[in-house]
């Protein structure tokens, strides 16, 4: 039986933030459902962390509203917003053990010692940290420190969980496991979560919906599959892995290295086909990756075997993988599939 969401819906209407004369957010509007997991995705400087910190109450907007469960929290202090934040650095005090760290927010709220102890034990079991209550942060692994930071945030029973790249300091192997744990935990608790990341794979794995930010504006919002298959513009396509760009008619076609195909002699394909030459080919672990020169442009394509340099090839892009955009100001042009361009 599915867990009923106990998180609260979040609303952002026309939010603007400026640092001095620099406008960081430009009238951003977004609705997040109760129990929904939303990822804010984009490169450094796109405004995703500023948006998160505005929701948390650490940054004051110059315009717009933020509501939680219909209640206007735009000018409320952080502790009255019903939200808890997990920081990129975890922000664990080196002198404070795990149990005291997790119970810190409860002590600030005036809970008695017995009640705090019971809640801390509950968090230790939930996060698989049993027996580690007396350890200091220096005695924990990176994954354990991340769980402690999560426990401190969850112990106060927040309506909204805010996550500021909490896995960026973990190595790849640990990060993969923690992603699964975080998503399972969020779903089991039914809590509303907003997660900032620059890692597209992380956003795809964790989120119900992804918000791609570009220079303080929302470039596209939607489920991971929708953004992957139909990026709204060249900026979104590039950020979601379609980094290859080849000129085609009055526009440019973008596609991912794993989706392009080197065609066999006489092979046909439903999609654009280019004549090219292999410039370079290297082994990338389980596959070869070829650099194919097409006129003045180059494209990376995954191939099953090594291709010799200077080999003439036909590069095909399947219809569903070809994303067409206008040649002028491509980051602002609307998406057009190859099928629509026909």
pLDDT per position as a tens digit, 258-267: 999 999 999 9
Q: DSSP states of 14-56 as a string?
A: EEEEEETTEEEEEEEEEEE-TT-EEEEE--TTSSHHHHHHHHH
d(CA 299, CA 293): 7
- Going across the sheet that includes 251-255, the strands are 244-248, 251-255, 323-326, 336-337
> 206 and 81 in one domain?
yes
Task: Examine the pLDDT at 71 and tell me if it is beyond 80.
Answer: yes
> 312 and 166 in one domain?
no
> 191 and 292 in one domain?
no
Q: Quick one: average pLDDT of 283-287?
A: 90
- CA angle (166 as vertex; 163, 171 as ends), nearest 5: 155
Q: Residue 248: enclosing H or E segment and its boundaries? A: strand 244-248
Band of pLDDT at residue 342, cut at 50, 70 and 90: very low
Asked if residue 5 belongs to a domain, the reply is no
Structural domain of residue 223, as residue ranges?
Answer: 10-229
Q: Quick one: average pLDDT of 157-168?
A: 90
Band of pLDDT at residue 332, cut at 50, 70 and 90: very low
Asked if residue 234 belongs to a domain, the reply is no
At residue 15, the pLDDT reads 98
pLDDT tens digits along 188-243: 889 999 999 999 999 999 999 999 999 999 999 999 999 999 999 999 999 999 99
> 173 and 80 in one domain?
yes
> 247 and 203 in one domain?
no
Band of pLDDT at residue 119, cut at 50, 70 and 90: very high
Q: Quick one: average pLDDT of 39-59?
A: 95
> 151 and 73 in one domain?
yes
> 180 and 85 in one domain?
yes
Task: Examine the pLDDT at 58 and tell me if it is beyond 60.
Answer: yes
Q: For residue 232, give the nearest of 159, 326, 130, 146 by alpha carbon.
A: 326
Last residue of a domain, one of 199, 229, 259: 229
How many structural domains comprise the chain? 2
Q: Which CATH number characterizes residue 172's domain?
A: 3.40.50.300
At residue 286, the pLDDT reads 87
Determine if the pTM surpasses 0.75. Answer: yes
* Exposure on the CB side of residue 69, measured as CA atoms within 13 A: 13
Q: Quick one: average pLDDT of 308-332?
A: 83
d(CA 66, CA 51): 11
Band of pLDDT at residue 308, cut at 50, 70 and 90: very high
What DSSP designation does 317 have?
A: -
């Amino acid at each position: 039986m599915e867990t009923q969401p106990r998180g609260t819906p979040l609303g952002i209407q026309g939010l603007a933030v400026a640092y001095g004369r620099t406008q960081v957010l430009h009238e951003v509007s977004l609705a997040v459902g109760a129990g929904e997991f939303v990822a804010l995705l984009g490169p450094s400087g796109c405004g995703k962390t500023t948006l998160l910190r505005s929701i948390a109450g650490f940054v004051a907007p110059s315009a717009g509203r933020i509501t939680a469960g219909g209640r206007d929290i735009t000018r409320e202090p952080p502790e009255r917003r019903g939200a808890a934040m997990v920081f990129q650095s975890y922000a664990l005090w080196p002198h404070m053990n795990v149990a005291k760290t997790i119970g810190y927010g409860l002590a600030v709220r005036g809970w008695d010692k017995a009640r705090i102890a019971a809640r801390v034990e509950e968090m230790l079991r939930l996060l698989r940290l049993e027996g580690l209550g007396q350890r200091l942060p220096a005695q924990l692994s990176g994954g354990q420190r991340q769980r402690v930071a999560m426990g401190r945030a969850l112990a106060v029973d927040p309506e909204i969980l805010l996550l500021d790249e909490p896995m960026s300091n973990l190595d790849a192997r640990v990060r993969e496991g923690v992603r699964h744990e975080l998503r399972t935990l969020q779903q089991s608790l039914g809590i509303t979560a907003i997660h900032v990341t620059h890692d597209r794979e992380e956003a795809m794995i964790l989120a119900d919906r992804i918000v791609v930010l570009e220079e303080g504006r929302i470039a596209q919002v939607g489920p991971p599959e929708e953004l992957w298959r139909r990026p709204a513009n060249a900026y979104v396509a590039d950020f979601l892995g379609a980094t290859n760009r080849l000129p085609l008619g009055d526009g440019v076609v973008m596609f991912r290295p794993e989706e392009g195909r080197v065609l066999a002699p006489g092979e046909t394909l439903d999609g654009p086909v280019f004549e090219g030459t292999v410039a370079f080919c290297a082994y990338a672990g389980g596959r070869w990756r070829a650099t194919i020169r097409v006129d003045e442009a180059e494209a990376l394509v995954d191939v099953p075997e090594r291709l010799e340099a200077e080999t003439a090839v036909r590069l095909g892009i399947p219809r569903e993988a070809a994303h067409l955009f206008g040649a002028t100001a491509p980051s602002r042009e609307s998406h057009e599939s190859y099928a629509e361009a026909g």
